[in-house]
């Protein structure tokens, strides 16, 4: 169901990468509905208090899911974007490093966090996001992705936490 709405774009953003374009999924009401209700079905909403999404495609699915299940939403952003006090975490990329940030009070009053992103590749981004949430006192309960690149060991980088994906390629 989800698969038919994912467009493969070779060599984007650089040679050798097969980019999984989720814009056709967002564009079609049936696709968007399948993604949001699929994410809602993977983890029991009574097991978490709030949804956390990673910039920027994690914002789209995370916020839609949060609204669907009647919860709030926490953004994890690229450096320098969040206006209040932040915690930050850097992680290794193939070449160089990247950094993500969260507001230090993001989990106050809503401790159990469902982590959401569009795609799990190497797991570096989500592993850093898990560290951030834990550092500010939150408890991540599970990670949910729309797509998982099954040929990469992304899951292994996330430790013991349950990991769910709607589509494994
Ligand atoms: P990683 O940290 O390697 O798990 O990469 C995850 C992040 O990079 C996610 O936020 C994805 O949106 C993005 N990403 C990595 N690989 C791809 C890909 N092949 N197609 C689309 N997005 C990707």
Active-site position among 3, 33, 55, 94: 94
pLDDT, one tens digit per residue, over 28-72 is 999 999 999 999 999 999 999 999 999 999 999 999 999 999 999
pLDDT at site 48: 98
And the tokens for 140?
A: 């991540």
Specify the higher pLDDT residue, 69 or 93.
69
**Ligand 1: distance of its center to the CA of 109 in Å?**
30
Rounded CA separation 53/61 (Å):
8
C-beta of 121 in contact with ligand 1 (< 6 A): yes
Q: At what angle do helices 29-42 and 57-69 cross, to 10 degrees?
A: 70
And the tokens for 33?
A: 């509905």
For 45-168, CATH gives: 3.40.50.2020
Atom of ligand 1 nearest to the CA of 124: 2
Atom of ligand 1 nearest to the CA of 125: 2
pLDDT, one tens digit per residue, over 96-130 is 899 999 999 999 999 999 999 999 999 999 999 99
Domain limits of the chain? 45-168
Rounded CA separation 126/156 (Å):
11
């Amino acid at each position: 169901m989800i698969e038919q709405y994912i467009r493969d774009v070779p060599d984007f953003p650089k040679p050798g990468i097969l980019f999984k374009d989720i814009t056709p999924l967002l564009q079609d009401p049936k696709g968007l509905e399948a993604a949001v209700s699929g994410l809602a079905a993977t983890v029991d909403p009574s097991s978490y208090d709030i949804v956390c999404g990673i910039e920027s495609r994690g914002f789209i699915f995370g916020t839609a899911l949060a609204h669907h299940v009647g919860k709030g939403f926490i953004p994890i952003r690229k450096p320098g974007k969040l206006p209040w006090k932040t915690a930050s975490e850097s992680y290794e990329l193939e070449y160089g490093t990247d950094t993500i940030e969260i507001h230090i009070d993001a989990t106050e009053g809503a401790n159990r966090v469902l982590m959401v992103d569009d795609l799990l590749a190497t797991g570096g981004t989500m592993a850093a996001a898990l560290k951030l949430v834990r550092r500010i006192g939150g408890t991540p309960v599970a990670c949910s992705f729309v797509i998982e690149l099954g040929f990469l060991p992304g899951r292994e980088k996330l430790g013991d936490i349950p990991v769910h994906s709607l589509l494994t390629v």
